[in-house]
Amino acid sequence: MSEDRRLDVLRAIVEDYVATREPVGSRALVERHGLGVSPATIRNDMAALEEGGFIAQPHTSAGRVPTDKGYRLFVDRLSTVKPLSQPEKRAIGSFLEDAVDLDDVVDRAVRLIAQLTQQVAVVQYPSLRRSALRHVELVPVGQRHLLVVLITDTGRVEQRTLELESDVDEAVVAQLRAQLNVAAAGRRLAELRESLGGLLDAFAPVDVPLVRQVVAVVEETLGEQVEERVVLAGTANLARGGHDFAHSIGPVLEALEEQVVLLRLLSEMAEDSASVSVRIGRETQHEGLLETSFVTTGYGGEGGPVARIGSIGPLRMDYPATMAAVRAVARYLTRILAAG
């Protein structure tokens, strides 16, 4: 059997099974798809696919369903990702553009993904360590306290209050504020240490302790990992499609509640070379997620992705549509954060 025809048969089986939830037989393939070969040839192709582990027969006399391996081949050989319609794109844009701050943007994005896919949506908050600084503000608070405000290119705002060793000199604070923004704007943590290190030379020895304190708090804040968190929406969608899971849906919901599991998966998927990454079944490497697939892509600032957004659903998911929805929302999210 030819490789191309085998892929056509597998693609037809995946599409029919996703649409009907029913095992797919050779007669259905002949009736619904113009494969251009006889039913006997299709049966031979299906037998070869089954022998290769790409499809399986759930019970005697039934049609065939895709396996994890079959879904993986299907996803890997997708030539195009189903594009969203213009009305869908406009709806995404208008819904996200009305957000008032980062929390609102993330909340809207996760609800939008859940609505578009009818699956569980997950959005990872932008990481400070991967974000670039947009602006640093220094605000004297009383005689010996200084408020340091960091605004990143993803719209995150972090505030830290410093207790100073001497009274605030507003002229020095103004000079430090200006030089900090020249040295730090547009740079990420890895680039900041070198550029901030040169600030000391521009200040009198008496002011060096203040400069050191401010530089230290900027670096420490951007280096913190405690902010790593994700937001979920649409878990009820899995419950409504509970018949897609051979076993109890409980382990799936328990796994989704463990942020460390999701953060590990998101971190691993960030290393993939594909623009939209897909983990199928056992590829998630978590017992509770063996009957699910995870589709994610990166979003963020001008320097590249700072976090990921995605959708989690049953193995029997509409992969092209899910990939398109995740990618579209990520693009709008990136555009809105960059404009903010």
Measured N-to-C along each axis, helices 319-339 and 86-97 cross at an angle, to the nearest 10 degrees, of 40
Q: How many domains does the chain have?
A: 3
Q: Cβ–Cβ contacts within 10 Å for residue 79, how many?
A: 6
Q: Give pLDDT, residue 122.
A: 95
Residues 205 and 307 in one domain: no
Residues 237 and 306 in one domain: yes
Domain boundary among 223, 238, 257: 223
Residues 254 and 333 in one domain: yes
Q: Give pLDDT, residue 74.
A: 94
Kindly report the pTM of this predicted structure.
0.78
Task: Kindly provide the b/e burial profile for residues 40-51, where b requires at least 16 CB atoms within 10 angstroms of the residue's own CB.
Answer: ebbbebbeebee
Residues 257 and 112 in one domain: yes
Q: Give pLDDT, residue 1.
A: 46
Spatial contact of 301 and 153, defined as CB atoms under 8 Å apart: yes
Residues 237 and 320 in one domain: yes
**81, part of any domain:** no
In which residue ranges of the chain is pLDDT below 50? Answer: 1, 226
Q: Give pLDDT, residue 95.
A: 86
Q: Give pLDDT, residue 128.
A: 67
Q: Give pLDDT, residue 86.
A: 84
Residues 204 and 140 in one domain: yes
Q: Give pLDDT, residue 307.
A: 87
Q: Give pLDDT, residue 325.
A: 93
Q: Give pLDDT, residue 50.
A: 93
Bridge partners of 248?
none
What CATH number is attached to the domain comprising 69? 1.10.10.10
Burial bucket for residue 205 (CB in 10 Å: 0-12, 13-18, 19+)? exposed
Residues 150 and 178 in one domain: yes
The overall average pLDDT reported for the chain is: 85
Write out the residue range of the structural domain in which residue 255 sits.
Answer: 86-126+228-339
